[in-house]
């Protein structure tokens, strides 16, 4: 799940996002989530982290529902 939430910051990211994201994916479950999110300036204890992450999921659900209606 940290990978999906890291994508939330993609639009706001400086250069190097892709490398950081690939490092996160390569780490898999070998690191604590706080270590995985730190390079992105994200923290799971920050309520905004969850708001942004859940808004991404909400958009995906909305897109899927729109496809179902089409």
Dump pLDDT digits (tens) for 11-64: 556 678 888 889 999 998 899 999 999 998 889 999 998 998 888 889 899 999
CA distance to 9, 18, 22, 51, per residue, from 29 (Å): 21, 19, 14, 23
Domain membership of residue 7 as a residue range: 2-69
Q: At residue 67, does pLDDT exceed 60?
A: yes
Contact, 4 vs 11, CB < 8 A?
no
Average pLDDT over residues 2-13: 58
Structural Rg of the chain based on CA atoms: 14
Domain total in the chain: 1
Model confidence at 2, pLDDT cuts 50, 70, 90, reads: low
Read off the pTM. Answer: 0.65
């Amino acid at each position: 799940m940290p990978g999906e939430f890291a994508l939330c910051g993609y639009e706001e990211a400086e250069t190097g996002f892709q490398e950081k994201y690939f490092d996160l994916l390569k780490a898999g479950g070998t690191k604590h989530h706080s270590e995985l999110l730190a390079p992105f300036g994200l923290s799971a204890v920050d309520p905004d982290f969850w708001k942004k992450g859940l808004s991404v999921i909400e958009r995906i659900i909305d897109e899927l529902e729109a496809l179902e209606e089409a």
